[in-house]
Amino acid sequence: MGLMAERVLPEGDDHQVIHLGGESAVIVPLDEYRNLRKEAIQTERRRDRGETIRMTAEEFVEASNLPDGVREELLAEIADRRAARGEAGS
């Protein structure tokens, strides 16, 4: 089976993508996974306590449960609007 040419990660991201049971997954080092998991748990606890969670528009879109195509379109639109205003991306 050949490698898929599809780009599913942001440019410059060198993580490996695998496909399991119709889902795509990213392979990350265990320490990175632990850090991501810890951050997710802390965010969930703040949300449960009703604390305000600050995030960029890009982080909000990435955290959403929107389909991949919709997320990609929104991220592209955010980047276009930032570029039109002369802002640097986040």
In-domain check, residue 47: yes
What are the phi and psi torsion angles at 23 (to 5°)? Answer: -110, 150
Q: Helices marked H in 22-89 — which ranges? A: 30-48, 57-63, 68-85
Say yes or no: 60 and 48 in one domain. Answer: no
Q: For the chain, how many structural domains are there in total?
A: 2
**How high is the mean pLDDT of the chain?**
82
Residue-number span of the structural domain to which 62 is assigned = 54-84
Q: How far apart are CA 11 and CA 20, in angstroms?
A: 23
In-domain check, residue 89: no
Given a cut of 60, whether residue 10 has pLDDT beyond it is: yes
pLDDT in tens, 36-52: 899 889 888 888 888 77
Say yes or no: 20 and 39 in one domain. Answer: yes
Say yes or no: 58 and 43 in one domain. Answer: no
Contact residues for 68 (Cβ-Cβ < 8 A; gap 6+): 8
Say yes or no: 63 and 48 in one domain. Answer: no
